[in-house]
A = this chain, B = another copy of it.
Amino acid sequence: MSTSSFTMPFAGNDLNACEHERDPKELQAFLNDPKAKAMLLDRGRPALLPEGGLKWVKPNDLIGQNIADPGPLFLGKQGDVPVFAFSISTENALTEIESFQDMRVVAAQLSPMELALAGQAKSLFDWHDEHRFCAKCGAGSRGNRGGTTRQCDSCGAAHFPRVNPVTIMLVINGDDCLLGRGHGWPEGSFSALAGFVSPGETIEEGCAREIFEEVGVTIKSPRYVFSQPWPFPSQLMIGLICETDDRELVIDANEIEDARWFSRDEVEAVFAKRSDAFKRPPRFTIAHQLLRHWLKEG
């Protein structure tokens, strides 16, 4: 990455995951550590302080709150501080915890590190929620190793969190850039095209296939720029810039609602808030960062 001083939103987690200190006894010692701290999430939304920032509590204050599977999620150690996340439901929440917020709404109220940690916790809790049963034998499984795996006690299978690779790309023709919008997006919103990488594909092949399927354009020279962990629910967003000689778009209405060419000047004006030709993707998205990167390159 050439952009060394920049932290991609949702990235920058500096915890030691303590891969080899995750047996029940070790986890209990981390929970009992007076320095330990825990964030709270309700259905993927972290608890915030009234003034912004994550609300941190002592893990021991939560014991007895009947924390359901997967139990305390051990994110790792930040220096000598064990960091946990607890998934709770506001139905039986501590009454003083009032404010659970969608990270896409309150991203600016969290520090980069808080966003990274809460994003990681959300991805893991979402994965547990969607994988309570063993896909191999159908029996109920349980969270294990501080919530980084699930164990099936019936057939013995260990299950690992899913990370879905997605290519997201700016397609460039001369000094113009192709942006699209999905069905049901807020009016005027446009962003980079994106799609899941399929089995049997390279990153570049996934990128080319997705662009061709969505807008009928053939790309050349795809170029990796940077990546982002995206916790809605757990994608690895792989950002690319690629060129095309094609100008005409054949939009697949099954996939997207619209796509259009935008000139560098138009994009620049929108980012400088001198124009509302379109609604740009929010700052915490890799699409926003890709567009900024393209503007800087130009």
Contacts and interface: CB of A to CB of B under 8 A. Distances in A.
Contact of A199 (B123, B197, B226): B123
A215 interface: no
Interface string A192-208: 00001111111111000
Interface size class of A (residues with CB under 8 A): 35 or more
A1 B222 contact: yes
Most buried by B among A123, A132, A205, A231: A205
Contacts of A35: none
Interface stretch (A91-99, A133-141, A262-270, A276-284): A133-141
Interface in A116-165: 116-117, 119-120, 123-124, 127, 130-140, 148, 159-165
A227 B203 contact: yes
Contacts of A127: 199
B229 A201 contact: yes
A232 to B, nearest CB: 12
Given A120-B200, A134-B135, A202-B236, 20 more contacts: A1-B222, A10-B200, A11-B201, A11-B202, A17-B198, A117-B200, A123-B200, A130-B135, A132-B138, A133-B133, A133-B135, A134-B138, A138-B139, A162-B164, A163-B196, A199-B231, A200-B229, A201-B229, A202-B229, A203-B227
